Amino acid sequence: MIYGAALALAVGLGLPIAVIGAGLAQGRAAAAAMEGISRQPDAAGDIRFALILSLSLIESLVIYALLIFFMLYGKLPAVMEVVQAVGGN
Q: Where are the domains of the chain?
A: 2-76
On whether the 2-76 domain is CATH 1.20.20.10, my answer is: yes
User: In this predicted model, what pLDDT tens digit does every residue of 42-70 receive, in sequence order?
Assistant: 999 999 999 999 999 999 999 999 999 89
Per-residue pLDDT tens over the stretch 8-52: 888 889 889 999 999 999 999 999 999 999 999 999 999 999 999
Cα-Cα-Cα-Cα torsion 25, 27, 32, 38, nearest 10 degrees, comes to 170
Residue 85 CB contacts under 8 Å (≥ 6 apart), including other chains: 1, 77
Q: Read off the pTM.
A: 0.76
Burial class (CB in 10 A: 0-12, 13-18, 19+), 67: exposed
